[in-house]
Amino acid sequence: MTCKDVADLQPLYLSGELEREMNPARYSAFRVHLATCESCAREIERTAEIDRALRDGVQADQIESVPLEHRVRLGIAAGRRPRMMMWMAAAAAMAAVVVMGVIGSQVLLMRPSSPLCNAAADDHRAEVVRGEHRAWRTTTPEIQVLAERPGVSVPLSAPPGYHLDRGRLCRLEGQVYLHLVYSNGAQEFSLFLRHRGAELPPGAAKDSANGRPLYTADRGHEHVAFLQTDRLTALIVTDQSSRTALELARFAASTL
Amino acid sequence: MPHTRSLLRVARRMTSDPAAAEDLVQETMLLAWRNFAQLREGSSARPWLFRILMNAFYGHGRRMRSAPAMVPLDAPANAPGGERGQKGLWAPAPSLEATDAARALDTLSEEHRTVLLLGVVEGFTCGEIAEILSVPLGTVMSRLSRARQALRHRLEPKPGLEPKPAELKCAKTDG
């Protein structure tokens, strides 16, 4: 593995696809090179910094989409109007709202983020409870590079008694999340983070902390807490109890 | 309607014209509505919507396409390219480098802007970008590398380092 190889593979590394696209031996060689070549490590770190700056800069654009969405609904209704009665056009507009909701959430449910909570619970069960083999990053600088991808930062603090043990990227409902695992030596919980998008909470809020509503959902033995800050979507998964999930979410709400 | 804001954000940066961007996204959403049956079950709608957006954008030819903006990096943050630099009531102000990076994006070629918007700003993987733009994965990787180099060159110009011919037109505006 040469410095040029690393430079060529940099896009896949920064997008979190490298491990999947390469055979294990070559991926391992990439990691070894990065760990031993200061120049390549610095180059990737700087690229990730500029990526983050670009993302923050463009996402600061003020986008007002409501008038456009109104135009789209009218456009959908108007497209059918010549062959329809007015009440049918109104019904078409309402149907458009439903279908566009489906396009966004993929499901015909009023609680479209439930699949997200389920996906987080399944990921936690596979990777943390069952310990299925995954390539985790275990140092904060490595995890911080990963965090650029979903547009987040590694939290500065952990709940009392816990420490950040490892991290990796994963996909939940088609979106890239930073999956962090915290441990207190006996028990572990997962924290999934990504830049806030169109995710919707599951059902009604169960509690609030620091002015942020906290939501919970259960899936089998896994208990999920969901919260959002102005910039982040966070899911916490524990196999201890719903109450523990909520307590961890309260901590996250006050520190993220 | 989820994804509308993301589509609009990218469309604005591609067209450099808020009205044209709204028309483009409206067209995208209407096409998505008419062709909803083409969305494969279980597949994500987000790349599908962006693929429609990009097809519509390129389908309009030069009418809707903007040349790289001639923006000096010390221009006011709210100069061209829409409303960047403005924040929501509670959003923290972007750092100086973030503002510079967003401004420098507008000076890049359309090809470079496209892959940076999709890959860096919207978080699509290289594989997803390849599908959205209907190009091979290797092409996406090399475009992303070149786009990052070009952006970095705008942000960190090195004395004595001549820009590549393709960048000359925009680089002149940096000084």
Please give the CATH topology (third level) of the domain spanning A114-255: Phosphorylase Kinase; domain 1 (3.30.200)
The mean predicted confidence, pLDDT, of chain B is: 76
| Higher per-residue confidence, B170 vs B99 | B99
| B9:A195 CB<8 A | no
Q: Which of A17, A103, A150 sits opposite B45 (nearest CB)?
A: A103
| B105:A57 CB<8 A | yes
Q: What is the DSSP code (8-state) at residue B110?
A: H
Closest residue of A to B5, CA-based?
A65
pTM value is 0.56
In this predicted structure, what is the pLDDT of residue B65? Answer: 62
The parts of chain A modelled with pLDDT lower than 50 are 82-84, 105-113
DSSP line for chain A:
--HHHHHHHHHHHHTT-HHHHS-HHHHHHHHHHHHH-HHHHHHHHHHHHHHHHHHHHHHTS----HHHHHHHHHHHHHHHGGGS-HHHHHHHHHHHHHHHHHHHHSSSSS-TTHHHHHHHHHHHIIIIIS------B-SHHHHHHHHTTTT----S---TT-EEEEEEEEEETTEEEEEEEEE-SS-EEEEEEEE--S---SSS--EEETTEEEEEEEETTEEEEEEE-SSEEEEEEESS-HHHHHHHHHHHHHH-
Mutation site for B-interface testing, chosen from A20, A56, A74 by largest number of B Cβ within 10 Å:
A56
* Closest-CA distance of chain A to residue B16, Å: 12
What CATH architecture does domain B69-78+86-175 belong to?
Orthogonal Bundle (1.10)
In this predicted structure, what is the pLDDT of residue A99? Answer: 62
With beta carbons under 8 A apart, name residues in chain B contacting A104.
1-3, 45
Instruction: Show me where the domains of chain B are located.
Output: 1-66, 69-78+86-175
| B5:A101 CB<8 A | no
Closest residue of A to B10, CA-based?
A58
List beta partners, residue A238.
Answer: A223
In this predicted structure, what is the pLDDT of residue A103? Answer: 57
Note the pLDDT tens digit of each residue in B36-49.
Answer: 777 766 677 888 99
In this predicted structure, what is the pLDDT of residue B84? Answer: 37
In this predicted structure, what is the pLDDT of residue B78? Answer: 40
In this predicted structure, what is the pLDDT of residue B98? Answer: 85
Task: Classify domain B1-66 by CATH number.
Answer: 1.10.1740.10
